[in-house]
Amino acid sequence: MVTPTLDWSQCPAVESSPGKRSGAWVFKNTRMPVSTVFENLQDMSVDELVEEFGVTREQVQAVLQFAAHSAEAPAHRR
């Protein structure tokens, strides 16, 4: 099974700019890559991510919800 690539442009909590992190998707108004959440989620709680990386709980939750919603089968999307 092929996992589709997420279209992060549809997530309001993130942005991509060539001048920030070589265009990687980052949390809005930060230089923190979205990938940091997924790389550290196994070992850190959302509160620890917020404290360690200077993002808001709302930003982390928005990214996680976006990823979860994007992973749903098309028939289950709202």
Handedness of CA 18, 22, 28, 29 (dihedral sign): negative
* 3-8 average pLDDT score: 76
14-72, what's its fold?
Arc Repressor Mutant, subunit A (1.10.10)
Specify burial of residue 70 (Cβ count, 10 A radius: 0-12, 13-18, 19+). Answer: middle
pLDDT tens sequence across 34-65:
999 999 999 999 999 999 999 999 999 999 99
The answer to whether the pTM exceeds 0.85 is: no
